Amino acid sequence: MMNRRKRSCKNRRRALCALLGFALFVTGCLFGYGGNVRAMAQTDTEFAEQMQAAGFPASYAQSLAALHTVHPEWQFEPVITGLDWGTVIEMESRNGYNLVPKSGDDAKKSTAEGAYDWYTNTWTIYDGSSWVGASSDYIAYCMDPRNFLDEKSIFQFEKLSYSDTQTVSGVKAIIAGTFMEKKVTDTDGTKLDYAEAFLAIGEQTGVSPYHLASRVRQEQGKNGTSSLISGTYSGYEGYFNYFNVGASGVTSSLVIKNGLNYAKKAGWDSRYKALLGGAKLLAKNYISVGQDTLYFQKFNVVNHAALYSHQYMTNVTAAVTEGQKLGEGYTDKDQAFVFRIPVYENMPENACAFTVSGNPNNYLKSLTVEGCSLTPSFDGATDRYSVLVDAGVAAIEVSATPVVSTSKVSGTGTIPLTTGTNTIEISCISGTGSTRIYTLTVVRQEVVTGEPVSDSYRIGSKYVTGLTPGLKASAFLKNVSAEGASLKLVDAKGRENTGKLATGNRLEVYDANGVLAKSYEIVLYGDVNGDGDINVLDMIKVNRYILGLGKLSGCYLKAADANRDGDKEGGGVNVLDMIYINRHALGLTTIRQD
């Protein structure tokens, strides 16, 4: 009966409006302006100026004026947040606060530290089994009201109070094609009509029934197959949670159990009670504290007691998608809707656009030069490397693979070399078009006027041995010379070493022009891990190598042969070397270095 009275009143209002329109037309004809009622209304320019005077920036005003032209009864209220736009985006971009589906476009996903692993192209799961962090650029797009000032999307800003203009037919339009379209038997045996239930609950709680219907559709999806509303989940039979209150966790089962545990404690042992209970929470916790639009429920920039938190949903697009569904419920959009639209300080001049797509990863998974070692060792985050080759090497073969197969790599293949320094750039272009350049400096040796010599140490064709543990770099260099060349001692990462020598250090020889001509690796027998000391850690490295659990090569493998029997039958790195290192560490004997 109540709905019929509403429709009757509405029909009478329309009839009166029609009569008034006819009267204005006749009056217009009599006075010579041909019934042009629009000529008496505000122009778009005048309305835009009015919006700016009310507090909307100019970048809002034109879109609002366009809406006003089509829907002159609509009211637009600026909500002056006083918040800096950059700070808002920074706070909302914290890991886990705004999420997107894992299956969605990679460009929309966060690549912030903790949210993404550049080396493996994997995102951190923050909710359920498929929700990952949203990128700050996409968050900015979703939060910028200027992107959504159109007839379809503006309803995320609608004030969500109950109105007697809302009808059962409007609710039915929202839930059409969903599991809520049909009646269902409740736990008390009664038939539950979702549309009528939302209307009654909305009137009781003061919350828009359209909002309630849209929210449940957003939370439960089109088919409504979640265990949260099945009433049959083991241990929680007969309990329901339509609004997913308290339903969070890193696994699907944990999400369900947490949500149903909340429902059980709240006494939601019927479908109707769950709908009513969720609506009461919305009214109390959100509507009454100023978060009275879908936008403010998603992005809390108005409730300063819990700023940037106390946000109903983590799905970054929830406000706009739910708002669109909310708007679809209105068969008559020429009502006096009130839209509360936020305004921020220091916003960009134009709306934040988001047009990129694809995977943003531009890291390399590997970079190799055939037959050569990179300095430092390859790491996808490091973009500068060096390689030293003999004078007889006229070309090198460079290979690289990206972390993500869709990324494009250039600059590899057979690269000819000139004597001296050669700079090679390898580019990795991501699916979004961002480029990362890896620079490879290849030094092709020249003939040096003098090889390094020393009366104190043994300098072979590749290694320097005969060093005393704890020897300082400065003392070492005083006892090495090379005619017509300069010398430098660097660590395994290519940084100049001014401390004590260690396995993996390199003696570098530079010609008269300052070009790196040759290098020799330092070997300190027993110092297997390259820290300059001989202790139990080195013994562990040798043990893991013997057991096949670890790898040793080059100068480190040579240093592991502590008893120096590699040239003998049955020699090489074995348990005897562990004993030598252990006795040295205990001070019982000393590993010979000469």
Neighbour tally for 502: CB within 10 Å: 23
Query: Per-residue confidence at 329, pLDDT binned at 50, 70, 90?
Result: confident
Is the confidence at residue 15, as pLDDT, over 50? Answer: no
At residue 570, the pLDDT reads 66
Q: Are residues 392 and 370 part of one domain? A: yes
Who wins on pLDDT, 501 or 391? 501
Averaged over 467-473, what is the pLDDT?
93
pLDDT digits 0-9 by tens, 412-434 = 999 999 989 999 999 999 999 99
Helix (H, G, I), strand (E, B) or coil at 488: strand
Q: Are residues 280 and 179 part of one domain? A: yes
Question: Is 176 contained in some domain?
Answer: yes
Lowest mean pLDDT among 82-86, 218-222, 359-363: 218-222
At residue 448, the pLDDT reads 57
For residue 283, give both structure tokens.
Answer: 């009214």
At residue 28, the pLDDT reads 37
Rounded Cα distance, 38 and 45, in Å: 14
Q: Are residues 375 and 422 part of one domain? A: yes
Who wins on pLDDT, 8 or 438? 438
At residue 12, the pLDDT reads 41
Averaged over 269-287, what is the pLDDT?
94
The residues near 162 (Cβ < 8 Å, ≥ 6 apart) are: 202, 203, 205, 206, 207, 208, 209
Q: Are residues 511 and 576 part of one domain? A: no
Domain count, the chain: 5
Question: Is 306 contained in some domain?
Answer: no
Q: Are residues 570 and 506 part of one domain? A: no
Rounded Cα distance, 423 and 442, in Å: 6
Question: Is 573 contained in some domain?
Answer: yes
pLDDT digits 0-9 by tens, 351-385 = 999 999 999 999 999 999 999 999 999 999 999 99
Q: Are residues 394 and 368 part of one domain? A: yes
Is the confidence at residue 58, as pLDDT, over 50? Answer: yes
Averaged over 549-560, what is the pLDDT?
94
Is the confidence at residue 98, as pLDDT, over 60? Answer: yes
> Nearest-CA neighbor of 97 among 137, 131, 148?
131
Boundary-marking domain end, from 522, 544, 569? 522
Question: Is 48 contained in some domain?
Answer: no
pLDDT digits 0-9 by tens, 174-183 = 899 999 999 9
Question: Is 404 contained in some domain?
Answer: yes
At residue 594, the pLDDT reads 78
Averaged over 246-269, what is the pLDDT?
93
Query: Per-residue confidence at 507, pLDDT binned at 50, 70, 90?
Result: very high
Boundary-marking domain end, from 265, 289, 313? 289
Q: Are residues 510 and 576 part of one domain? A: no
Who wins on pLDDT, 102 or 19? 102
At residue 6, the pLDDT reads 37
Q: Are residues 188 and 265 part of one domain? A: yes
Query: Per-residue confidence at 19, pLDDT binned at 50, 70, 90?
Result: very low
Is the confidence at residue 401, as pLDDT, over 70? Answer: yes
Question: Is 59 contained in some domain?
Answer: no
Whole-angstrom CA distances from 563 to 476, 533, 549 are 24, 17, 22
Query: Per-residue confidence at 252, pLDDT binned at 50, 70, 90?
Result: confident
Question: Is 380 contained in some domain?
Answer: yes
Who wins on pLDDT, 568 or 175? 175
At residue 14, the pLDDT reads 40
Query: Per-residue confidence at 43, pLDDT binned at 50, 70, 90?
Result: confident
| Axis-axis angle for helices 44-54, 58-70 (nearest 10) | 130
Query: Per-residue confidence at 488, pLDDT binned at 50, 70, 90?
Result: very high
Q: Are residues 493 and 417 part of one domain? A: no
Q: Are residues 226 and 195 part of one domain? A: yes
Neighbour tally for 158: CB within 10 Å: 23
| Containing structural domain, residue 281 | 163-289
Boundary-marking domain end, from 289, 318, 352? 289
Rounded-to-10 torsion of CA 296, 298, 302, 303: 120
At residue 447, the pLDDT reads 58
Neighbour tally for 61: CB within 10 Å: 22
Is the confidence at residue 193, as pLDDT, over 50? Answer: yes
Averaged over 303-313, what is the pLDDT?
90
Label residues 232-248 b or e (16+ Cβ within 10 Å = b): ebeebeebbbbbbbbbe
Residue 88 · residue 350 · CB < 8 Å: no
Percent of the chain with pLDDT over 70: 92
Q: Are residues 251 and 172 part of one domain? A: yes
At residue 16, the pLDDT reads 38
Query: Per-residue confidence at 24, pLDDT binned at 50, 70, 90?
Result: very low
Preceding omega of 57 cis (within 30 degrees of 0): no
Q: What is the DSSP letter of 500?
A: B
> Nearest-CA neighbor of 97 among 108, 87, 110, 86?
110
Is the confidence at residue 37, as pLDDT, over 80? Answer: no
At residue 357, the pLDDT reads 95
At residue 174, the pLDDT reads 87
Percent of the chain with pLDDT over 90: 72
Query: Per-residue confidence at 327, pLDDT binned at 50, 70, 90?
Result: confident
Q: Is 432 exposed, middle or buried (0-12, 13-18, 19+ CB in 10 A)?
A: middle
Q: What is the mean pLDDT of the chain?
A: 89
Q: Are residues 479 and 426 part of one domain? A: no
Neighbour tally for 330: CB within 10 Å: 19
At residue 262, the pLDDT reads 96
Question: Is 64 contained in some domain?
Answer: no
